[in-house]
Structure 1
Amino acid sequence: MLIADACNKLRGTYLSICSSGFNPSSLSPITLRTSYQSVVVPKALYGCELWTVIGASDMLRLERSHRFCIKSMQQFHSLTNTDFALASINVNSIENIIDRKKLVFFGQLCRLPNQYLAKQVFINRLVRYLNNDKQTKGFVPEIYRLLYK
């Protein structure tokens, strides 16, 4: 459900921005990229730091929506090479964007003073994970997966 909503928000918000005056034919792709990265992506990926298990099919759905927007803002055909479309305006894949957001959140938790409940819960979950209480889902196993990656 979260992934479907994120896909709809990626496409819907991008198309809404394009229909409100930010037309790809009248603006440069760099300008559209800026609005895409500052408005569309944060709206679609709100809370993605806490998404724990994103399957390959869900990630593919997100990537397809992301590619649609990237190629549309550059007025490329849908069969254009995705790597070329992403590199030509210096945009990362949606998986890299999500992973970066998770790592930034991890860094914020690590720097949070110990007096906060969020820090105490995080440390508790981390210690439980390190003491072989291997959770199969959750933020801590996801961070370990990213750090191994």
Structure 2
Amino acid sequence: MEAMNCIGPWQHSLERSGQGIHVINVITSNTTLADDLALAAISPNSLQNLLNITYDYICNYRYIINSTKSFVMVFGDTAKNKTNINFYLGQNKIERTDKIRHVGIQLNDKMTDNDKISGACKKTESSLYSLLSINIGTFHINPLTSASLVSKICIPKLLFGAELWNNLTKSNCMQLERFIRMAAKTIQRFPIRTRTDICLAMLGWKRIESEINLKKLMFLERLCNMPTSVLTKQIFNKRLALFS
């Protein structure tokens, strides 16, 4: 959902309702970023109650939510337990979807990473070809300079949100790896059959699995250094306690 920043009384109303998702005893009914908001519930009735609370709040304080840009996605909604319940924001029906982009990350109701990987590869290929169009990978620019540009522009796009990837298949990893191999060989003008380890080593690049693991470790470091007052840190501590 897109809305103006409406933290405060509305957020407290959602928490007091007890209708949202709980991670142990931490309430996470709503996650917000800038002007976006997301409501999370474990049952259709609970979600509709959260929508009603939100609608009452925006009416009282004259906020505006575009219901045509708002969607409901039911995770794990298989054919066996598929539900046709409709959800409403006031009088406006909110459409169902099986794919949605939240905070720049592609999500689907099957909770798989296939869409994320495919989308990341398409975006990154466009960026790489844009660099190639300005003579990246030719003898006009040093390969190390080209590699630096690719590392700063293309690789971050390819691995955006990689900290949350936890269902990667061998096929997903190979799809990502093919892009790294292609980029390394192109900017060095190596034949397609050149050994991958040589191509990567000459640029100082790591294999894609290593890059993903590095991003996850960096994310863990940021979680550990967060102040305990932050909701994310509270959830992290609760989950960590389950494994200690």
TM (norm. structure 2) is 0.51
Q: Which residue of 2 aligns with 1:121?
A: 235
1:7 aligns with 2:121: yes
Structural mapping, 1:130-149, within 5 Å: 130=243
Q: C-alpha deviations, 1:28-59, integer Å up to 9, x for none?
A: 11001111111111122111111111111110
CA distance in 2, matches of 1:30, 1:23: 10
CA distance in 2, matches of 1:95, 1:12: 22
In structure 1, stretches of 5+ residues that fail to align are 132-149
User: How many angstroms does 1:23 deviate by?
Assistant: 2.6
CA distance in 1, matches of 2:179, 2:191: 14
Q: Which residue of 2 aligns with 1:91?
A: 205
Per mean C-alpha deviation after superposition, the further-off stretch among 90-99 and 5-14 is: 5-14
- Secondary structure of the 2:151 match is helix
Q: Structure 2 residue aligned with 1:54, among 136, 158, 168?
A: 168
Q: Structure 1 residue aligned with 2:184, among 54, 65, 70?
A: 70
What is the root-mean-square deviation in Å for CA atoms of aligned residues? 1.2
CA distance in 2, matches of 1:90, 1:124: 39
- Secondary structure of the 1:63 match is helix
Report the identity percentage: 34
CA distance in 2, matches of 1:68, 1:80: 11
User: How many angstroms does 1:124 deviate by?
Assistant: 1.3
Q: Greater share of helix residues, 1 or 2?
A: 1
Equivalent residue pairs, number: 129
CA distance in 2, matches of 1:22, 1:46: 26
CA distance in 1, matches of 2:216, 2:150: 20
In structure 2, stretches of 5+ residues that fail to align are 1-114
Pick 1 or 2: higher relative contact order, CA cutoff 8 A, min separation 6. 1
Give the conservation status (yes or no) of the 8 Å contact 1:10–1:66. Answer: no
- The alpha-carbon distance between structure 1 residues 115 and 22, as it changes in their structure 2 partners (threshold 3 A), is farther
Q: Which residue of 1 aligns with 2:217?
A: 103
CA distance in 2, matches of 1:42, 1:125: 28
Q: Greater share of strand residues, 1 or 2?
A: 2
Q: Structure 2 residue aligned with 1:23, among 116, 120, 136?
A: 136
User: How many angstroms does 1:110 deviate by?
Assistant: 0.5
Per mean C-alpha deviation after superposition, the further-off stretch among 66-75 and 8-17 is: 8-17
CA distance in 1, matches of 2:120, 2:128: 12
Of structures 1 and 2, the larger Rg is shown by 2
User: How many angstroms does 1:123 deviate by?
Assistant: 1.1
